[in-house]
Structure 1
Amino acid sequence: MTDSCPVCVHRGIAPAAERRHGENVVHGYRCPACGHTWATARHLPAYTPTRRSAA
């Protein structure tokens, strides 16, 4: 998954690091444009094709 920088809104940034904890994944990002770093946590079952089509 890619993300957008919350500071400069640069788009399509790939994770620089990843940790998995059961059904959860934490991605660490670093913006190549401004250098800002941040992390996101996602519950993987929420991103399944079945879940998206039901919404």
Structure 2
Amino acid sequence: MLTDTCPSCCRRGIAPAATRTRGNRIVHGYRCGCGRTWATTRDLTAYSDLHARRTQQPNRKAA
């Protein structure tokens, strides 16, 4: 799961309060304990490509 950092108080590891998929994009809505709310939009095709490249590279455990 993706987490984010609050842009107001810099608290880390905040999980999405809401998630919505729109075509090839995913929108996460966040709410921090300090009261700040914000949203991020990520292009899933970009993340899918990154994931595909990581799975093709051998890691230390596989080597």
TM-score, normalised on structure 2? 0.73
Determine the structure 1 residue equivalent to 2:39: 39
Q: Which has the higher strand share?
A: 1
Is the Cα contact below 8 Å between 1:45 and 1:51 reproduced in 2?
Answer: no
Aligned residue pairs, count: 52
If you compute each CA radius of gyration, which structure gives the higher value, 1 or 2? 2
If the length of structure 1 is used for normalisation, what is the TM-score? Answer: 0.83
Superposed structure 1 runs of 4+ greater than 2 Å apart: 50-53
Unaligned runs of 5+ in 2: 56-63
